Amino acid sequence: MEFITQHPVLVVSLVKIAVLLFVVMTALAYLTWFERKVVAHIQSRWGPYYVGAHGLLQPLADGLKFFFKEDLTPPASDRLIFTLAPMLALALALTAIALIPFGPPSIQVLGQPVFIVSNLGVGLLFLFAITSMGVYGIALAGWSSNSKYPLLGSLRSSAQMISYEVSLTLSVVGVVLMAGTFSFNGIIQAQSGAIWHWNVFGVRHGGITQVVGFLCYLIAAIAETNRIPFDLPEGETELVAGFHTEYSSFKFAMFFMAEYANMITVSCLATILFFGGWLSPFPGTWTWQNYLPGALLLLTGIYTAFDTFVVLRGIARLQFAVVTLLLLGGGVICLHPAVAPVIQGPFWFVSKVFVFIFLYVWIRGTLPRFRYDQLMSFGWKLLLPVSLANLVVTALVIVFPWLGAHG
Amino acid sequence: MSLPLLLFFVFAFIAVVGAILLISAREPIHSALALIVVMVSLALVYVLLGAEFIAAVQIIVYAGAVMVLFVFVIMLLNAGQEERTDWSRMAKYAGIPLAVIFLFWIAHWMARAAVGAVAGYAPGESYVTPSTTADLSKLLFTSYLLPFEVTSILILIAILGALVLARKEDKA
């Protein structure tokens, strides 16, 4: 106990990191389940169904499978870098998430904010620094495999990530100008008020809508994370599986997890920069919104209870009964007057991030892949000029406030 | 030993090891990786000194952009292992003593400078004031405006030069 009171920063930070790691790892696992389910329903299929009720234990089975598969290392590969590349990819992807604030800094334990692991003054820049390192994981994986398809895939990927990183960075500078700071908390607090103060609408004094910046960011972010329709580095029809062709077992799983972690990071960033982070869309005087998370959990619990008692049979019924109990119990806890205001920040943050994750999956289920020359000319000839123009217009509005909105 | 000091020694050690690996590695891509390690650990030392902005820019520009191009070119050209010769006699008899003298010289000056810097501060007090990005940009766009603009013109010239060199010759 004495150690805890003497070193509150160290102890609280370590606990926060451990909890965040656990939550993110679970989220990554269930993101694969979510993606498979949504894409399946887009294509009129059921998706994973047999391992657990509604396939809920599928991520666990997949994880076990990855873990026990044979770990192949091609004899002609560069062993050290071949092993290092997936670790680098995953470590950088997870580090980036530690910079994200999930709730307001005012909620504290032992004088330390609960929902913020690291509050850097240059948080946004640091995040870009980490994501700009992310290209090494892919580039080195392709090179060290000493095989033709992975090398081509990683060359494509490096070129693509360098090209779109420029637009990605430029598209958010408008937001930084409007907030006057690189810190995530500063950027979020500059958007406080109500939904129309968020940067994407920008109706506040001297502000201008950042919807152009947001669209540029969204496109560049999808390209940065190598997702459909920009997943040329792993285009199956041309490159087998691109940079991770030679990878198997847990090393492959690490690339997989890194891709999903990057997806979460860019969704979090979109939420913070353009959609007010952990801010509620409603004015602070509407106190009923404190009971929204609990009510939503209870409603979902009632739905799963219906599924448990009416639709499902056998072991699936038992599994879904556990899910129902968890949802209902969580709902009751969230309705408690002491808990309800505390979880407001994380609730809104996670809800907004979830919308972006769904958008990602939706796009994957809808759009075909770009051709490589289309990708490059789109990035350099359209996205870059548009994000530059957005930056110039935003700067003009900040210098001459009468040009902008008067909210 | 305080935590920042301990961290400084850790990162400084990593930087030095990285620098040695950079020279001794035979595979060009291993050298490039070692250089990235050096740059990142230098950035972490900057963080310890309170220069967060410089640290972030160091990683974005050097580790994230310049070195990516290095790695890209090495991969594209498929550069093989470096060929080694024996140590030249010049390096053995003149180089090593000179390096040792040079190191002592640097250490001497650093020790003197550190004594002067610490003198005015109470023990445990941080002797660096963290510089915010706003302060830095204010200086950059007032006192150092001319060097800043001249540098940007220099970079523009470099871009134009690269364009001219990379442009395909007209067939006509």
Q: How crowded is the C-beta side of B68, counted as CA atoms within 13 Å?
A: 28
Distance CA A242, CA A142 (A): 8
**DSSP characters for A149-163?**
HHHHHHHHHHHHHHH
Question: How close A167 comes to chain B (CA, Å)?
Answer: 14
Question: How close A135 comes to chain B (CA, Å)?
Answer: 8
Q: Which of A88-102, A219-233, B76-90, B117-131 ranks highest by mean pLDDT?
A: A88-102
For testing the chain A interface, which of B27, B67, B71 should be mutated: the one with the most A CBs within 10 Å?
B71
Longest dimension (CA), chain B: 75
Q: Do B72 and A133 touch (CB under 8 A)?
A: no
* Closest C-alpha to A136, from B28, B54, B32: B32
- The letter for the amino acid at B40 is V
Residue that has been written with the tokens 């003497």 in this structure: A6
Please report, for residues A140, A158, A219, A337, A373, the alpha-carbon distance to residue A379 in angstroms, rounded to integers and kept in the order given.
24, 14, 9, 49, 10
Question: How close B15 comes to chain A (CA, Å)?
Answer: 17
Residue bearing the bigger pLDDT, B153 or B29: B153
Q: Judge contact between A395 and A200, C-beta under 8 A.
A: no
Please report, for residues A118, A121, A306, A393, B137, the alpha-carbon distance to residue A180 in angstroms, rounded to integers and kept in the order given.
20, 12, 51, 16, 12
| DSSP H or E run through A108 | strand A108-109
Q: Which residue from A122, A130, A162 is facing B68, i.e. has the nearest CB?
A: A162
Distance CA A152, CA A85 (A): 16
Distance CA A225, CA A47 (A): 24
Q: In which band, very low, low, confident or very high, does the pLDDT at B169 lie, cut at 50, 70 and 90?
A: low
pLDDT at B137 over 50: yes
Q: Do A125 and B57 touch (CB under 8 A)?
A: yes
B3-24 vs B28-48: helix crossing angle, rounded to 10: 160
Please report, for residues A71, A241, A261, the alpha-carbon distance to residue A250 in angstroms, rounded to integers and kept in the order given.
7, 16, 16
Q: Do B29 and A133 touch (CB under 8 A)?
A: no
Chain B interface includes A87 (CB < 8 A): no
Digitized pLDDT (tens) for each residue of chain A, 407 residues in all: 666 677 777 788 888 889 989 999 889 889 989 999 999 999 988 888 888 778 888 888 888 888 888 888 888 777 888 888 899 889 999 988 888 888 888 877 777 787 888 877 788 888 888 888 888 888 888 888 878 888 888 888 888 888 888 888 889 988 888 888 888 888 888 888 778 888 888 777 777 888 888 999 999 998 888 887 877 766 666 777 777 777 888 888 888 888 899 999 999 999 999 988 888 888 777 878 888 888 888 888 888 888 888 877 788 888 888 888 888 888 888 888 888 788 888 888 999 999 999 999 999 888 888 888 888 888 889 999 999 999 998 888 888 877 776 65
Residue bearing the bigger pLDDT, B153 or A308: B153
Count CB atoms within 10 A of the CB of residue B107. 10
Q: In which band, very low, low, confident or very high, does the pLDDT at B13 lie, cut at 50, 70 and 90?
A: very high
Distance CA A69, CA A250 (A): 8
Q: What is the mean pLDDT of residues B147-168?
A: 90
pLDDT at B115 over 60: no
Kindly report the pTM of this predicted structure.
0.84
The set of residues, in sequence order, having a beta carbon less than 8 Å from that of A213 and lying 6+ positions away, is: A171, A172, A174, A175, A199, A274, A387, A390, A391, A394
Please report, for residues A92, A139, B28, B150, the alpha-carbon distance to residue A88 in angstroms, rounded to integers and kept in the order given.
6, 11, 19, 38
Supply the ipTM of this predicted assembly: 0.77
Q: Do A158 and B68 touch (CB under 8 A)?
A: yes
A80 to chain B: closest CA residue: B30
- 3-class SS at B98? helix
| DSSP H or E run through A29 | helix A8-42
N residues, chain A: 407
What pLDDT score was predicted for residue A278? 86
What pLDDT score was predicted for residue B16? 92
What pLDDT score was predicted for residue B86? 67
pLDDT at B157 over 90: yes
- 3-class SS at A253? helix
Q: How crowded is the C-beta side of A215, counted as CA atoms within 13 Å?
A: 11
Q: Do A129 and B53 touch (CB under 8 A)?
A: no
